Structure formats: structure tokens, C-alpha cells
Structure 1
């Protein structure tokens, strides 16, 4: 009976999602920073909730947060393991579908070489049930 209880607990733990920690600066460092009362209008973008969620779903598949470079990775490979090295374009496609295209940022990961070939993907995301319908890779 005891073993069954332990196995049940382990199974439940395995089914849960792992939440990665959010990183905050120390309180003494954050004390000097004051947020403005309003967002600046210059450069401001508004994204719908479904668009943001579709982007997050696609990016989590394309480059999961816990993914780390291999131990002997080059600086360029390390760069490609960072989400900020990619640009994201999103657009609604008909009823209930959002297209999300992830492409390498042309200015990222260069180090005096030619730009990295497109390593991105295009996702069709079902925004009703939050599932990936299709992926197109170059």
C-alpha cells in the first residue's frame, strides 16, 4: 500500500509542469529604478492576448527555455541558443488560427562572418485549443 502511494505521488509530480524561475535584480539594485506612469508612445507595440500566447507556444517549441548549448559550443552556436537572437512575426490566418514565423535576426550571431542562414520556422497555431497545427521548417 505504501509503495502504491509513493508511486502515485511520483506520477502526479511527473505530470505537472515545471516552472522556470523568474530572475529579479536584488532589492537594493531595484530601489533606484522608477517605472513611468505611462508607457512611452514612441516604439510602443500592442499585441493581442491570443497573438502573444501563440508566439509563446511556438517559441517554447522552437527553443524551449531550458535548452542549453552543448559543452563545446562555439560563440556563434551559443548565440543561437538565445531567444533574443530571433525575430518573430505573427498574423491571424482565418478563423481560430494564428501564423507565427520565427527567423534569425540578421544582426545576431555574426562575429565578422556572413549572417547565419535562416534557422527559423513557421507555425500554424490553433488559438481556440492552444495546439500547434503545423510547422514548416526551411
Structure 2
């Protein structure tokens, strides 16, 4: 037992390197209690069905494009913080060929309040849905 102790003491600090993605934030119970769902369920207007495979492909591409723990550079300044928010980007996805889904991530034109932004902010991903790997990225 004591011969494993030095190894355990060496590996323990390495555990700090493994970060789990943050859990979604929930509203406090009193705020959640004030919300009421529609009696008819999800409204038909604006309803979109997204197949599970497409959702997973989008998640893979977005996590690669903008990882959850990515921090904006301090040199950019607050006027460009819009470039470092996931909600500033639109996502388009379509089945391609041989179990591949193409996922396009593009900066929404209105994301930065009409400010001129770089046109190359985005990427096109090819995601293999058999092995759930990113096959290629075009930036």
C-alpha cells in the first residue's frame, strides 16, 4: 500500500488538469416557479425538427470552433467581445455523402451591432457520423 503512495501523490496534481465542461446554469427556484409553459406544448410557429445526428455533428463542430473554456484575448478590447460569444454565430448543417454532415459556422451580421467585422470569422466542418470525428475543416 505504501509503495503506491508516492505515485498517487504525483498523479493527484495532474487531476487539476482535467476540467469538465460547465453544467448549464438554471434559474433560481423562485424564478422558475414564475415561468409557465404553454398549455399546448411547443408552438408550431418557428418549430424546427433537428435530427439527433445533426445535433451531435453541430456540437462537435462548435466545440472545436469555440471550446467552452476559450477566453477572449485581452488585447482585443471590449468592442470586439461580440466575436467571442457563441450566440454571435449562426450554424447551418446538411447531410452530405457517405454518412458525412457538413456544418457551417458563420458570424451573424448583426452580432456586433452593425460594426464592420472580419468576413473570415467562421468555418466549414465535415463530420463523419459513423466514427463521430471531424474529417476536415475549411476556415
TM band (smaller chain): 0.7 to 0.9
Aligned residues: 135
After TM superposition, the score normalised by the length of structure 1 is 0.86
Matched, 1:26 2:28: yes
String of CA shifts for 1:21-66, please: whole Å, max 9, x gaps: 3211111111100122411000011100010000010000001111
1:1-138 matches, cutoff 5 A: 1=3, 2-8=5-11, 13=15, 18-37=20-39, 38-111=41-114, 113-137=115-139
**Structure 1 residues 14 and 130: alpha-carbon distance in aligned structure 2, compared to 1, 3 A threshold:** farther
CA RMSD of aligned residues (A): 2.1
Structure 1: state its 5+ residue gaps: none
User: Do the aligned partners of 1:88 and 1:102 also contact (CA within 8 Å) in 2?
Assistant: yes
Structure 2: state its 5+ residue gaps: none
SS in 2 for 1:133: strand
